[in-house]
Structure 1
Amino acid sequence: MKLNQLTAVTPSERQIAWQQTEFYGFIHFGINTMTDREWGLGNEAASLFNPQKLDADLWVRQLKASQMQGVILTCKHHDGFCLWPTQTTAYSIASSPWKNGEGDLVKEVSLACQKHGLKFGVYLSPWDRHEACYGSGKAYDDFYIAQLTELLSHYGEIFSVWLDGANGEGPNGKKQTYDWERYYETIRRLQPNAAISVCGPDVRWCGNEAGQTRDKEWSVVPIEVQDLEKIAEHSQQIDDGKFSRKVTSGDEDLGSREVLENYEGTLVWYPAEVNTSIRPGWFYHEAEDEQVRSVEELYQIYLNSVGGNATFLLNIPPNPQGEIHENDVQVLEMLGEKIRQLQEQTIIQQGTLSYSSCLKEVRLTELIQGEGNVWQSAITDQKPYLQIEWEKEQTLQRIQLQEDITQSQRIEAFSVYYYHNHQWKKWGEGGLVGYKKILELPTVQTKGIKIVFQTYREFPTIKKLNLN
């Protein structure tokens, strides 16, 4: 596989928009919340659903405090209970006492997201343990398409349709062979800007629910990777309480040039999402109130995912009354403060930018803002570097780099040097960059930073950098 074949693979506009969301929330909520289970059987009474203190606007504000940019709601989990008044089944909140059967939780969350400037996404489980026609083939696909159509037609712009591959038995003891292509066609037609995640062509699962990340996460991978999560026999089919912390990432290296050297198939842009829960379970359980993950652990997952060419989807499950527990809220607030510090604008506003070469003139302000010209080294440049110097010593502790992924993923390894006492000293090193690389390093006092790119797939590009 030639290097120019690797860099010829680029993301779609919807994939770029999804990656720019960076950090967003999952809300697992429904019948399971009321029964203290992870997976319902599909025969729980709809009358159990009656969260008296539910405030969707507050949910969204609490998630936004953590610097999340979007929310995905579990509109229907495997039990089949729908959080909107669907016309496809009586098994929905319309049959519950909540708001006298007049409520629409999907609408409330979507409107709250619109109000507070967050993107809204939907999770609709293909597996349905309640629906009698599950396992019947086309009849169930018709049913599922009808539900998709409702969700994608009445709740505004959808940024993500999250499809997991769980595939167990329905109430008739049969399993369904999902018509994925038909599902995709419906989504593309009704929400052309929505990324189809996990069991879809736009976004891949990182391979585990534990928050584990690969050391190097490649977006350019063999097309066969798109089918891994859709294989029914590989899907999760039991609730054993261990899956959410099990690391089953498969191959650690999906897209290095060494792995792809002898690959003769088709390559696709298929970036990774890291999804995990703030608690051991995905739905709320009172017994887990003291098992909320620490801000330090979640911050590290953030650095490794958002700062490692992936996105971070963090689940926050409300309790049976419809409230997010104070322990979760406190951690979200602290996490938000740490992420805000990451997002602070660079302290180097008046520095001097220099480089080994450049295809097109670029100013430091353009790189700081991530707008305007992109730095690209000359094709013939054998030792490309970027260098920034300023007059007075400043304290630095991190560097963030972003490639121009419209020109693919190119950088494979780089080193960072800082200028002190009239000499350049090694500060740190990183591997691939992709959409974003965040390096937190030992604090230094310096008058300059030099980034040297050692290995790359054709000439490297940098769209944005930040020092703070």
Structure 2
Amino acid sequence: MKKRNVILLAGLFCSSIAATQAQSIKPYGALPSKAQLAWQDMEYYMFIHFGPNTFTDKEWGHGDEDPKVFNPSQLDARQWARTAKLAGMKGIVLTAKHHDGFCLWPSKYSTHTVRESAWKDGKGDVLKELSAACQEYGLKFGVYLSPWDRNHPEYGTPTYNQVFANTLTEVLSNYGPVFEQWFDGANGESEGGKKQVYDWPLFHSVVYKHQPNAVIFSDVGPGCRWVGNENGIAGTTNWSTLNVEGFAPGAAGPPAPVLNMGNEDGEKWIPAECDVSIRPGWFYSPATDDKVKTLPHLLDIYYGSVGRNGNLILNVPIDRRGLIHANDSIRLMELKSNLDATFKTNLAKGAKVTASNVRKDKAVLASHLTDGNSKTYWASEDNVQQATITLDLKQPVTFNRFLVSEYIALGQRVKAFTVEVWEGNAFKEVARETTIGHKRILRLPNITTSRVRINILDAKACPVLTEVQLFKAPEVLTTPEIKRNKAGEVTITAASTDPVLYYTTDGSEPTVSSARYTGAISLPAGGVVKAKAFINNGKTASNTVVADFDVAPARWSIAHKDGEAGGHEAEKAIDGNADTYWASNKKGQGAAYPHELQVDLGESLLLKGFTYVPRRDNLNSGNIQEYAFYVSEDGKNWGQAAAQGAFDNIRNNPVKQTIRFKQPVKGRFIKLVAKRATNEADEWASVAELGVVTK
């Protein structure tokens, strides 16, 4: 018999076993579709933000940019696809149209497209090139189209929804199979921005007409949901089910904590997708070339997404050449190398498995938990929601990663479980967790044992598990952390075991020949600090970390503020510590805003801009959406605002905001006026750190 036929028969046999098993177990709750099951198996894929914002250094374009600004000199979609493939990703989702309305294909429903750009004399089509590249490299192709359009003249009118539906049709019927349609719920989120009542049923019908197997992303799916943050981290409890009645994408979506955790027994199967950028922003900026997330940070994201029953969509912005920057590519390959080394050898494979309860169905065996086949599984009897599974290993093994999976085609069931290891003459608990879902990966300290026990403490119905696996991940040298206090003293720390830290302040790359860190570095006037940790006599090095400081707030004091919540004094907005913050009091009497904070810089400076660091502990915390910033010599005469507007995407991505003035302004006093919060229900304002730009 030919080898191909043997493989085919083996596959049919496994499918037959799975089908037989499924017939004996009743499904529980909301269930995934075939498309959702295939989507969940993808686990990890690339997001690409690319457009005029790439060239204007903006996160949210206003739609008034000259389309000719879009002119990549070396655009190579094959390089994007090749990079994604080498990184171990399974697909690419491209921002075909962002909020600025610019279309990366020559749409006949817009005059703000690549057709009007300088790229390829208006004859290019990014979607066409990328869909072909994805097909060449065996990747799935997805598209992001924002219904918000800050350029189209029909936006905000009753006719716009059909315009957008036509735009969707254009994309979804001309570029081959689309595995995911990404919908952003943003809707005129700027001062004076036009609003549109989106016709979501119409939009969904267009998607399913042209791409019936596409998974639709939004705050409420229906294919997959936003995880509630842009950090790429799902909840430690993460249900794939969600209550959607009464909710809609965008501001009308469920609260962030609900999106992060899902709803136990939710109405619909809408699993979490974890979106995050490899850089601080979503679009490329030269200023973030040295801000690519470190390997330890990316590993935190991976285990917080794929390892918590979610899918990871990692944004890798395209630079102004039209290429993935080398810094991003290098980090992606470092992540791939680490994950390959971690999951290369399943130390539990072939272990003897016993369970406290097994169904009478002979096709449902405890041994299936270590056979490496995700289509076979173990299950307890219907009336048993608690069970114990024991792995007897052939010999003691050392592991630090524990993986367990449910057979989600029959629903998500497990509510709580523990992991124990044999230590001496008894079992010792090493982890206590809640949900499992498609995949749960626990990071543990190095453990050497010959027996592992999993206790299912609670489940919605009889637990159905496909795999239990053990792995040994290589040690990763922690990247140093650089901080500066109010006085301008810089400290460098690293959590790794006995690292040696080296740093530079001249912009050069740290080596073992650079200055060795032995104590605080005085940098009150600002500067760039680069640091690296070394072990093994300098043979092993961490990623380089970079911190760019401006003038320290050593001489600064609060001149005026609008009240303050207890324990959150205004001085905390200028203490050099982003983990503390000022929060104003509620104004009351229906006057929620504005709030203001005035600072005396202690000297007159030529200011080129300001920085605002929002609170990072809570998305609904008084973080400022709309602002006005003033500069004064005497603290009394303020004149016109040096800058005013809205912080782009700060609600979902609360990172440091840097605003540059159109013209430098000299002054000793600064005033930040908070005009509106990210959460319109907030009646207070908060500032983690307020800074100035002088360089």
Assess same fold via TM > 0.5.
Answer: yes
Q: Counterpart of 1:83?
A: 104
Instruction: Quickly say closer, same or farther: Cα 1:404–1:34, change in 2 above 3 A.
Output: same
User: Which among 239, 250, 254 is matched to residue 218 of structure 1?
Assistant: 239
Q: Counterpart of 1:272?
A: 272
Q: Which moved more, 1:330-339 or 1:367-376?
A: 367-376
Q: Counterpart of 1:290?
A: 290
CA contact (8 A) 1:67 1:340 kept: no
**AA paired with 2:67?**
A
In 2, distance between residues paired with 1:367 and 1:132? 59
In 1, distance between residues paired with 2:154 and 2:447? 64
Q: What's the Cα RMSD here?
A: 2.6
CA contact (8 A) 2:260 2:272 kept: no
Instruction: Quickly say closer, same or farther: Cα 1:40–1:102, change in 2 above 3 A.
Output: same
Q: Counterpart of 1:442?
A: 445
Q: Counterpart of 2:92?
A: 71
Q: Counterpart of 1:155?
A: 175
Shift of 1:420: 4.4
CA contact (8 A) 2:53 2:61 kept: yes
Matched, 1:255 2:237: no
Q: Which moved more, 1:375-384 or 1:140-149?
A: 375-384
Q: Which runs of 5+ in 1 are unaligned?
A: 236-246, 261-265
Deviations 1:66-125 (A, max 9, x none): 322111000011111111122222321122222222211111111111121221100011
Deviations 1:38-82 (A, max 9, x none): 111112112111111221111122223332211100001111111
Shift of 1:284: 0.8
In 1, distance between residues paired with 2:333 and 2:27? 40
Q: Counterpart of 2:401?
A: 398
Structure 1 length as normaliser, TM-score? 0.88
**AA paired with 1:449?**
V
Structure 2 length as normaliser, TM-score? 0.60
Matched, 1:12 2:15: no
Give the structure with the higher percent helix. 1
Shift of 1:252: 6.3
CA contact (8 A) 2:355 2:366 kept: no
Larger relative contact order (Cα-Cα within 8 Å, sequence gap ≥ 6): 1
Q: Which moved more, 1:433-442 or 1:457-466?
A: 457-466
3-state secondary structure, aligned to 2:311: strand
In 2, distance between residues paired with 1:173 and 1:420? 63
Q: Which moved more, 1:5-14 or 1:56-65?
A: 5-14
**AA paired with 1:182?**
L
**AA paired with 1:378?**
E
Deviations 1:14-36 (A, max 9, x none): 22122111111110000111111
Instruction: Quickly say closer, same or farther: Cα 1:371–1:22, change in 2 above 3 A.
Output: closer
Q: Counterpart of 2:249?
A: 229
Deviations 1:112-158 (A, max 9, x none): 11121221100011011111111111x21221111111111111111
CA contact (8 A) 1:129 1:169 kept: no
**AA paired with 1:91?**
H
Q: Counterpart of 1:263?
A: none
CA contact (8 A) 1:6 1:220 kept: no
Give the structure with the higher percent strand. 2
3-state secondary structure, aligned to 2:371: helix
Matched, 1:281 2:259: no
Matched, 1:95 2:100: no
**AA paired with 1:134?**
Y
In 1, distance between residues paired with 2:111 and 2:32? 41
In 2, distance between residues paired with 1:105 and 1:220? 35
Shift of 1:270: 1.7
In 2, distance between residues paired with 1:366 and 1:412? 19
Q: Counterpart of 1:411?
A: 414
* Identity within the alignment, %: 38
CA contact (8 A) 1:374 1:404 kept: yes
Shift of 1:363: 5.9
Shift of 1:169: 7.5
3-state secondary structure, aligned to 1:7: coil
3-state secondary structure, aligned to 1:155: coil
Q: Which runs of 5+ in 2 are unaligned?
A: 1-24, 472-695
Q: Counterpart of 1:424?
A: 427
Instruction: Quickly say closer, same or farther: Cα 1:461–1:169, change in 2 above 3 A.
Output: closer
**AA paired with 1:353?**
V
**AA paired with 1:384?**
A
3-state secondary structure, aligned to 2:142: strand
Q: Counterpart of 1:181?
A: 201
Deviations 1:185-237 (A, max 9, x none): 01011101101101531211111213343221112232337x243446x89xx
3-state secondary structure, aligned to 1:283: coil
